[in-house]
Amino acid sequence: MDAQPKASHFIDGEYCEDETGALIECVFAATGEVIARLHSATPALIEKAMQSAERAQKAWAALAPVERGRVLRRVADILRERNRELSELETLDTGKPLQETLVADAASGAEALEYFAGLAATITGETVPLGNDFVYTLREPLGVCVGIGAWNYPTQIACWKAAPALACGNAMVFKPSEMTPLCALKLAEIFIEAGAPAGLFNVVQGYGDVGAALATDARTDKVSLTGSVPTGRKVYAGAAEGIRHVTMELGGKSPMIVFDDADIENAVSASINGNFYSTGQICSNGTRVFVHRDIETAFIDRLIERTKNARIGDPRDEATQLGPLISSAQRDKVRDYIAKATDEGATLAYGGAVPEGFDTGYYIEPTIFTGVNDEMTIAREEVFGPVMSILTFADEDEVIDRANDTPFGLAAGVFTRDLTRAHRVVRALEAGTCWINTYNLTPVEAPFGGMKQSGVGRENSRAAIEHYSQVKSVYVAMGDVEAPY
């Protein structure tokens, strides 16, 4: 597959290029090869993207909602028809194994489009009776929304933002991560093929400066970012200048709590999925695994036994279960965290090195630390790699306090056969997305997002509609207007 796109950007219904923009090299993480060369958007291209989005938004919002829904539904159908081709591109863009991208990326994007296609025609206001008078409300679009993506799920992130935004009658200008510029361009092509007006979904490439220019443009009504907390702080501050709406999907250091009555095999499966899937590059990962001290040995033995079976390999091979990290810089960062954990006294129970024979790409073994305590860097900072920390606990109140002792609040998981305890603990956890006896399932029907520094707003579900629309309240008087003089 040739990964080089026709041009860097997709604006106003067509590919466009301006080679004076800074070079963006797209590197295949499994080999280190440059597979595509693109350019960052120049101010003229940003201008074109914003102008065309403004124009398209007005026409789009004037359509009957059911017609908007029909277009989004067609996008979902095309994504499914081309799943194989889109998954292969996602694998090249991110280095994630084809085994994953075939089921988790375009497929998840299609679900978001299908879901919000169905909701489009149900977005309505309400009437409020006031005796003879009454108020009715209109739920209106915000206008032009800017989406800024992280590199771990480029197709899914673009779809999770575009689907609710467009269902509500907005347009979107999307800036993918500079690490993964390819997939969103395909989505932009598909929007046109499905009948969306030119300019409704534009893709502009660029580094942080392009993201900042979009987020602070006077025509931008909303910014939705998926990225790290430090970037979130900057984007939120930039949006505040113009009192713009925001959705912030940021990082995490989520706890997974395994009580002594848990089904150990299920808890081990969830800790594997919640730490090693996508080579650990998932925001909601349960990277602090709190295991009750009475089952610690059984849990760790089984976890290591199963982790040994992980098939590391070329992500283009469908048998591969664990691919590389996104970049050499990310691998360096992960290795630094591994070294620091050892220095600070954690026990390296498994992995920790570059797997043998995989030194050309950005591979790292699935890594398990035991004997981790709450103060260690590995238990406090987001690693964004396949590194699991096992901490032990003795009782429920203690583990709740320790689980909440973090500025993050993205996700949490509880494993127990005692359902009363499961609900009680979940109520006490400061996390936007929680799971009982499973981990990292994010169906489009359920709200997804973070508390505390992990974010603002929610993606997916009906909740996303609130974040891509605004309410207009209309008072209707049926009688005369009284005035004091």
Establish whether 177 is an annotated binding residue.
yes
**First CA to last CA distance, the chain:** 79
Instruction: Kindly tell me which of 184 and 422 has the beta carbon lying closer to ligand NAD.
Output: 184
Instruction: Kindly tell me which of 109 and 455 has the beta carbon lying closer to ligand NAD.
Output: 455
Establish whether 17 is an annotated binding residue.
no
Establish whether 455 is an annotated binding residue.
yes
CB of 358 vs ligand NAD, minimal distance in Å: 22
Instruction: Kindly tell me which of 69 and 232 has the beta carbon lying closer to ligand NAD.
Output: 232
- The residues that are catalytic are 161, 249, 283, 459
Establish whether 175 is an annotated binding residue.
yes
CB of 140 vs ligand NAD, minimal distance in Å: 26
Establish whether 150 is an annotated binding residue.
yes
CB of 229 vs ligand NAD, minimal distance in Å: 7
CB of 307 vs ligand NAD, minimal distance in Å: 22
Query: Which chain residues interact with ligand NAD by CB under 6 A?
Result: 148-152, 175, 177-178, 207-208, 211-212, 215, 226-228, 231, 234-235, 249-252, 283, 382, 384, 410, 450, 455
Instruction: Kindly tell me which of 217 and 296 has the beta carbon lying closer to ligand NAD.
Output: 217
CB of 154 vs ligand NAD, minimal distance in Å: 10
Establish whether 224 is an annotated binding residue.
no
Establish whether 333 is an annotated binding residue.
no
CB of 230 vs ligand NAD, minimal distance in Å: 7
C-alpha dist (Å) from residue 95 to 87, 320, 329, 400: 11, 11, 14, 36
Establish whether 308 is an annotated binding residue.
no
Nearest-CB residue for ligand NAD:
211
Instruction: Kindly tell me which of 52 and 460 has the beta carbon lying closer to ligand NAD.
Output: 460
Instruction: Kindly tell me which of 292 and 331 has the beta carbon lying closer to ligand NAD.
Output: 331
Binding-site residues for K(+): 27, 93, 243, 452, 455
Binding-site residues for NAD(+): 149-151, 175-178, 251, 283, 382
Binding-site residues: 27, 93, 149-151, 175-178, 243, 251, 283, 382, 452, 455
